[in-house]
Amino acid sequence: MASVFQGPAFLTADQSLLTTLIVKLAVVAVLATMLARFRKFQHILIFERRDWTDRLVFALAIGVPVMAGVTARLLLGYHAADLTLEGPFLTGLIAGPYAGAVVGLLGGIPALAAGEFIALPFAIGCGFAGGGLREACPKEAIWQFTPFVVVDLRKHLWQALRRLEPNWQLVLLIAPIGLELLRQALGLRFGSSRLFYLSSTSPWMTALVVLAAVLAVATPIKIWNSARIEHRLQEQEKLLLAAKIEALKSQINPHFLFNTLASISSLIRSNPETARTLIIRLSGLLRRLIRSHQHFVTLREELEAVDEYLDIEVVRFGSNLGVRKEISPDTTELIVPSMILQPLVENSIKHGLARKIGPGSIVIRSWREPGLVVLEVEDDGMGFLTDRLDEPMSTGIGLANVRERLRVIYGATSQLTLTSEPGAGTRVRLEIPELIAVEPITA
């Protein structure tokens, strides 16, 4: 069996070999990119501690394409698909010696069936070589592997001599080079009918064959490491988002607590029984807030929290405070950020009704629009002048906090609108994406 790629008549032997090496690297890159898209494969890449099932899945994910590539080479003469060296070595390097040996076994079986008797032990040996390096060197050194270490070769050699310890980047570079040179030597000694190899007509082409073997190992590592880094960045973004939401949420509770305690202190001398009732209601609401660690709740649960707050305010204002709800039944199980309505109700009472002489009322509404849930809190209090509408949004804790939380959670898909008329009242309108269920984000 000839080991030199027989290309079209208009290509020389060196040009045919060069084409084979380029296509080989393309095959490796495509295979690595496709595998990195599967969630199970990503999980195996991300976590260094892998059980035997993960290692087996990884070995099969690499081994089956390697076996198919060897078969394509034997049946179709497609030499670029043969990854007998690179597949087992790479698998051993990432998943351990036994996973590498499994890939070597899968890749060597078709070659053995075709009479290439050295192929099977060589492929298994490549798997154990990669696995041995994995056991010896730091795991992060594997993900940092690059063939461009030769650019600073003098620096790496000096560091290894000065520290009297191996430079793992050099070791990882030398390993595939040594394996490819070994394959070349075995092929020359026993012939291409016993072990497939890409023979060349000059030392320069042999160097390119060796370089292609190194790049065929380094390219998947770079692609998979990019997937690992992307996953870590996504996790960091989730944690940052959770922390930011928690920080914004924690602003509301002290704000509400301060206002309620101020009300209680003003009632202790004039109406101690009312103050006592307020303290009991406040303690019940605080217990609810302490127990809740979810950043998202159903609208029904959010309205229950608002009711507990209003119980406190009704005690303060008595019959002067009226509350009406116009809640569409098909919105009660929709998902909203927790503690999103209470600051709006509190602002209506504090800035609208508290300054009003006589009774006042608050209306809480909800309904659905295409792709949105709309929430409104309207009062018939004192209202604001048109040129002062931005003040509550920029200076007050409640509305500014709600606006910032909506921006962090939903971005440009949400909207907070404030309209007011002096002497007639104020209306705050929230538009947020309609969500039936959401994965809770916890800090």
Residue with tokens 């069936």: 113
Report the amino acid identity of residue 442: T
- The domains found in the chain, sorted by start residue, are 13-234 (no CATH), 268-433 (3.30.565.10)
pLDDT at 440 (0 to 100): 43
Contact partners, residue 381, CB within 8 Å, separation at least 6: 348, 351, 352, 353, 354, 355, 356, 360, 425, 426
Residue with tokens 């924690």: 250
pLDDT at 241 (0 to 100): 60
Q: What angle do CA 73, 182, 188 make, to 5 degrees?
A: 70
**In tens digits, what is the pLDDT along the chain, a chain of 443 residues?**
444 445 555 668 888 888 889 999 999 999 999 988 888 887 788 777 778 888 898 899 999 999 999 999 999 888 888 999 999 999 999 988 999 999 999 999 999 999 999 999 999 999 999 999 998 888 888 888 887 766 565 666 666 666 666 777 888 888 999 999 999 999 888 888 899 998 887 888 889 999 999 999 999 999 988 888 887 777 766 655 666 555 555 555 566 677 678 778 877 888 888 788 878 877 877 776 665 556 788 899 888 888 877 877 777 677 778 888 999 999 988 888 887 888 888 888 877 777 777 788 899 999 998 889 999 999 888 877 655 545 544 445 567 778 887 887 787 888 888 888 887 888 999 999 887 654 444 44
Q: Which DSSP state fits 353?
A: I
Are residues 274 and 311 in contact, defined by beta-carbon separation less than 8 angstroms? no
Buried b / exposed e along 290-316 (16+ C-beta atoms within 10 A): eeeeebbbbbebbbebbebbbbbbbbb
> Which residues are bridge partners to 296 per DSSP?
337
Are residues 295 and 242 in contact, defined by beta-carbon separation less than 8 angstroms? yes
E-strand ranges in 239-382 read: 296-298, 321-327, 335-337, 360-369, 372-379
Determine the Cα–Cα distance for residues 389 and 351; give it in Å rounded to an integer: 12
Are residues 307 and 281 in contact, defined by beta-carbon separation less than 8 angstroms? no
Q: How many CB atoms lie within 10 A of CB 341?
A: 24
Determine the Cα–Cα distance for residues 132 and 153; give it in Å rounded to an integer: 24
Widest pairwise Cα distance in the chain: 106
Look at the alpha carbons of 78, 80, 81, 86 in this order and tell me if their dihedral is positive or negative. positive
C-alpha pair distances (Å), 93 with each of 87, 129, 331: 10, 8, 53
Reference 349, options 386, 311, 375, 387; nearest CA is: 311
Contact partners, residue 335, CB within 8 Å, separation at least 6: 296, 297, 298, 299, 435, 436, 437, 438
How many helices, marked H, and strands, marked E, lie in the chain? 15, 7
pTM: 0.58
pLDDT at 424 (0 to 100): 82
3-state secondary structure of 299: helix
pLDDT at 421 (0 to 100): 83
Are residues 118 and 104 in contact, defined by beta-carbon separation less than 8 angstroms? no
Reference 338, options 292, 376, 373; nearest CA is: 292
Determine the Cα–Cα distance for residues 44 and 49; give it in Å rounded to an integer: 9
pLDDT at 394 (0 to 100): 47
Determine the Cα–Cα distance for residues 36 and 233; give it in Å rounded to an integer: 16
C-alpha pair distances (Å), 413 with each of 221, 417, 424, 430, 434: 38, 13, 30, 11, 10
Strands 335-337 and 372-379: unpaired
Buried b / exposed e along 192-230 (16+ C-beta atoms within 10 A): bebbbbbbbeeeebbebbbbbbbbbbbbbbebbbebeee
